[in-house]
Amino acid sequence: MRFAYLGPEGTFAEAALSTAVASTEGARYPQPSVAAALAAVRSGDADAALVPMENSVEGSVPATMDGLADGPPLVITREVFLEVAFVLAARPGTQLAAVRSVVSHPHALAQTAGRLAELLPGVVPLPLSSTAAAAAAVAAGEHDAAVCAPIAAERYGLAPLVTDLADHPGAVTRFVVVEPAGALPAPTGNDKTSLVVVVGDRTGALLDLLSEFAVRGISLTRIESRPTRERLGVYSFSLDCEGHIADSRVGEALAALHRLADDVRFLGSYARADGRQNKPVPERATDDAFAEAGDWLSRLRSGGA
């Protein structure tokens, strides 16, 4: 397979891809942005892309959320969790006192803002497209220091000035592997399903959406709103729920959302990888319960007792 990922070489995305896919399983192609990685899959230049979805400190990655909500459909087939550790890196021989410019990805800068303010008061960090791009810019002499992964510092010949830079040690980033819409991963019994739902500007719209999950005993693991960019006040909801679309309760919930929402985009069902187990399914919401209820209704419709 051909895998696209947020590059250049040395990003956390590359590290996440390495943990998820063996180097012998396919070629890897760094891309300059999340949008470019997704576009490579849609155009057929790549078979799959690994992109960041959310961070435990900074929340969701808008470029990924919007990129999956718009354009030809893609589906998530796998999620990968990676603990992120930052270093402040510079060209060999640079002293901390000589640093006048710092660059990195906006999420990395946000996760290290406190430490940077202590170490480099008066220096205003500048955003770049990725932590590895920041390391490459420093190696090229365009800036003095980069907030990046240790692997990026090593790859671009930089020396760490400060290690363990994060304001909140132990932060984790969730990455997702996306592929063209097609055959889905089989249910494992511990799965997630991801959706984007547009409910329109009407009273009780969010409550209606949530009720379809609650009445079927489905727990949500994430929900957040994003502007649809049509006009102010119209939002979509990006969410993850427990279960697989093959599960009767999840399938019924999606069908109900299709009836009441302005639009529903299915983003995939895939194995949960955060080390947690889905909550027990209520007896009333098991596949057997749905099947028995369906049989009962069929008997009634056919004139049976």
What is the 3-state secondary structure of the chain? CEEEEECCCCCHHHHHHHHHCCHHHCEEEEECCHHHHHHHHHHCCCCEEEEEEEECCCEECHHHHHHHHCCCCEEEEEEEEEECCCEEEECCCCCHHHCCCEEECHHHHHHCHHHHHHHCCCCCCEECCCHHHHHHHHHCCCCCEEEECHHHHHHCCCEEEECCCCCCCCCEEEEEEEEECCCCCCCCCCEEEEEEEECCCCCCHHHHHHHHHHCCCCCEEEEEEEECCCCCCCEEEEEEEECCCCCHHHHHHHHHHHHHCCEEEEEEEEECCCCCCCCCCCHHHCHHHHHHHHHHHHHHHCCCC
pLDDT category of residue 72 using cuts at 50, 70 and 90: very high
Tell me which amino acid residue 202 is: R
- pLDDT tens, position by position, 238-252: 999 999 999 999 999
Q: What is the model's pLDDT at position 228?
A: 78
pLDDT in the model for residue 168: 87
Q: The tokens 């019994």 sit on which residue? A: 189
Residue 161 confidence (pLDDT) above 90: yes
Q: Which CATH class is domain 1-84+171-182?
A: alpha beta
Stretch 127-132: mean pLDDT = 91
Residue 29 near residue 1, CB atoms below 8 Å: no
pLDDT at 305: 65
Give which of 156, 176, 118, 211 is closest to 11, Cα–Cα: 156
When pLDDT is averaged across residues 11-34 and rounded to a whole number, the result is 89
**Separation of alpha carbons 74 and 111, rounded Å:** 29
Per CATH, 1-84+171-182 and 87-162 having the same topology is answered: yes
Q: Model's pTM, two decimal places?
A: 0.87
Alpha-carbon span 11 to 147, nearest angstrom:
11
80 vs 97: CA distance, rounded Å: 38
Neighbouring CB atoms inside 10 A of 260's CB total: 15
Among 99-103, 200-204, 257-261, name the one with the lowest average pLDDT.
Answer: 200-204
The token pair that represents 264 in the structure block: 């529903």
Superfamily of the domain at 87-162 = Periplasmic binding protein-like II (3.40.190.10)
- pLDDT band with cut points at 50, 70 and 90 for residue 169: confident
Domain boundaries, the chain: 1-84+171-182, 87-162, 184-305
- For residue 231, count CB atoms less than 10 angstroms from its CB and return exposed for 0-12, middle for 13-18, buried for 19 or more: exposed
Rounded to whole angstroms, the Cα distance separating 16 from 277 reads: 22
Q: Are 30 and 9 contacting, i.e. CB atoms less than 8 angstroms apart?
A: yes
- What is the rounded average pLDDT of the residues 30-37? 94
Q: 244 near 266, Cβ under 8 Å?
A: no
**164: Cα separation from own chain's centroid:** 24
**Average pLDDT, stretch 279-288?**
94
Mean pLDDT of the chain: 92
The yes-or-no verdict on residue 233 having pLDDT over 80 is: no
What confidence category does residue 203 fall into, taking pLDDT thresholds of 50, 70 and 90?
confident
pLDDT band at 268 (very low <50, low <70, confident <90, very high): very high
Domain 184-305 has CATH 3.30.70.260: yes
